[in-house]
C-alpha cells in the first residue's frame, strides 16, 4: 500500500515536472530573462527611479514578453513541426493544446500590461503592449512572407529597454531612444547569424529570415557585415546627451568591433563555424553594452 502511494506521488511529481518544462519552453524563459535584463538596465540608469517599483517592472516585463512568445508558438505550431530546433515544443508535439496556450498567453499578456500600468505608468504599459503586438502579429506572420520580417522583429526586440526608462521617468527620453537604436541594430548580426546556421531548418519551414536575396552566399554575408558595421558609429550616440558616458561608449565600441570582426570572418569564410562565432559575439555584445550604461549611471 505504501509503495503504491509512493508510486502515485512520483507519477504526480513527474507530471508536474513535465508541465513546468513545457511552460518553460512556451514562455522561452531564458530568452525572456535576457530581454527583461535590458528593461532592468533601462530602469536603473534613469533618474529619478524608485527601487520599490523594480518588482512589478520585472514581473510585468517578463509576463508581456512571455505572452508574445506564447502567441508566436500558437501561430507557428505547424511550422515548428518542420524544424529540428523547434519540433519538441509543447504545441508542436501536441503535449499542450492551443486552448491552454492561448489562455496562458492572454493571462500573462493582460497581467503584465495591467501590472505595468497600475504600479508604474501608462507609457511603460503601452510600450510593452506595442512590443507584444508587433512581435506576435506582425513579425511572426511576416516570417513566411518577406525578409522585412527581421526588421519588423528588431523593432519589438528593441522596445524592452525603452519600457524600463519609461517606467522610471514616465516618458520616452533621449536615453530611451539611444538604447532602442543600439538594441535595434544589434539584432541584425544576432538574428542573421542564427539564420545562417539554421538555414536548412528555416528553408524547410518556409521562413524567410536571411538578408535580402534569401541565399546562404557571399551577398548575404556582406549584407550581414554591413549591418554589423553600423554598431561602430552607433556606439557614439551617447555623445548627444549632456554628461559623460565614457564606459557606455567605450564598451559599446569594443563589443561592436568584435562583432564586426566576426561578421568579416563570416563574409570571408562563408561557413557555419564563422556563423556560430558571430552568434556568440552578438550574445556578448548586448550585456557588455548595457553594462557600460549601468557603470556610467553609477559614477
Q: Which pLDDT does position 297 carry in this prediction? A: 86
- 60 and 115 Cβ atoms separated by less than 8 Å: yes
How many Cβ atoms sit within 10 Å of the Cβ of residue 200?
11
Q: Are residues 162 and 189 in the same domain?
A: no
Q: 39: domain CATH number?
A: 1.10.357.140
Cis check for the bond before 48: say yes or no (omega within 30 of 0).
Answer: yes
Residue 16 has pLDDT above 70, yes or no: yes
- CA atoms of 112 and 62, how far apart (whole Å): 7
What tens digit of pLDDT does each residue of 105-119 get?
999 999 999 999 999
Over residues 35-56, mean pLDDT: 86
| Cell triple for 92 | 508542436
- Kindly state whether residues 61 and 25 are assigned to the same domain: yes
Query: At 51, is the pLDDT very low, low, confident or very high (cuts 50, 70, 90)?
Result: confident
Peptide bond into 131 cis (omega under 30): no
Average pLDDT over residues 163-167: 96
At residue 52, does pLDDT exceed 90? no
Verify that 47 and 138 share a domain, yes or no.
Answer: yes
Q: Mean of the per-residue pLDDT values for the chain? A: 92
Crossing angle for the helix pair 174-197 and 149-158, to the nearest 10 degrees: 140
pLDDT value at position 90? 96
* Predicted local confidence at residue 34, as pLDDT: 87
Q: How far apart (Å, rounded) are the C-alpha atoms in residues 179 and 290?
A: 8
For 136-149, how does the pLDDT look when each residue is reduced to its tens digit (9 = 90+)? Answer: 999 999 999 999 99
C-alpha cell at 232: 561602430
* Count of domains for the chain: 2
Domain residue limits at 130: 21-172
Query: Which of 172, 190, 215 lies at the terminal end of a domain, its last residue?
Result: 172
Residue of 288, 194, 174 lying closest to 241 (CA atoms)? 174
Sign of CA dihedral 240, 58, 25, 92: negative
Residue 46, SS3?
coil
Asked if 46 and 169 touch (Cβ cutoff 8 Å), the reply is yes
Q: Which three cell numbers stand for residue 52?
A: 520599490
Residues 80, 142, single domain; the answer is yes
Which pLDDT value is given to residue 191? 95
Amino acid at each position: 500500500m505504501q509503495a503504491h502511494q509512493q508510486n502515485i506521488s512520483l507519477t504526480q511529481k513527474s507530471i508536474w515536472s513535465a508541465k513546468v518544462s513545457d511552460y518553460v519552453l512556451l514562455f522561452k524563459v531564458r530568452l525572456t530573462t535576457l530581454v527583461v535584463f535590458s528593461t532592468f538596465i533601462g530602469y536603473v540608469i534613469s533618474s529619478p527611479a524608485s527601487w520599490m517599483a523594480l518588482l512589478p517592472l520585472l514581473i510585468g516585463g517578463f509576463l508581456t514578453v512571455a505572452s508574445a512568445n506564447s502567441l508566436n508558438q500558437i501561430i507557428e505550431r505547424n511550422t515548428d513541426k518542420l524544424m529540428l530546433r523547434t519540433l519538441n515544443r509543447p504545441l508542436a508535439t501536441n503535449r499542450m493544446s492551443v486552448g491552454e496556450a492561448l489562455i496562458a498567453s492572454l493571462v500573462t499578456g493582460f497581467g503584465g500590461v495591467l501590472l505595468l500600468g497600475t504600479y508604474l505608468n501608462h507609457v511603460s504599459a503601452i510600450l510593452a503592449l506595442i512590443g507584444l503586438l508587433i512581435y506576435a502579429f506582425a513579425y511572426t506572420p511576416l516570417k513566411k512572407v518577406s525578409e522585412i520580417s527581421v526588421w519588423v522583429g528588431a523593432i519589438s526586440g528593441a522596445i524592452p529597454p525603452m519600457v524600463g526608462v519609461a517606467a522610471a521617468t514616465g516618458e520616452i527620453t533621449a536615453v530611451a531612444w539611444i538604447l532602442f537604436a543600439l538594441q535595434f541594430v544589434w539584432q541584425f548580426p544576432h538574428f542573421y547569424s542564427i539564420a545562417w546556421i539554421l538555414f536548412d531548418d528555416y528553408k524547410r519551414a518556409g521562413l524567410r529570415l536571411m538578408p535580402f536575396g534569401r541565399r546562404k552566399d557571399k551577398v548575404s554575408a556582406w549584407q550581414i557585415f554591413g549591418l554589423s558595421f553600423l554598431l561602430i558609429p552607433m556606439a557614439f550616440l551617447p555623445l548627444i546627451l549632456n554628461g559623460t558616458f565614457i564606459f557606455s561608449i567605450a564598451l559599446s565600441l569594443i563589443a561592436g568591433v568584435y562583432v564586426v570582426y566576426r561578421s568579416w570572418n563570416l563574409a570571408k569564410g562563408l561557413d557555419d563555424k564563422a556563423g556560430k562565432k558571430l552568434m556568440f559575439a552578438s550574445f556578448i555584445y548586448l550585456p557588455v553594452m548595457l553594462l557600460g550604461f549601468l557603470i556610467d549611471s553609477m559614477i
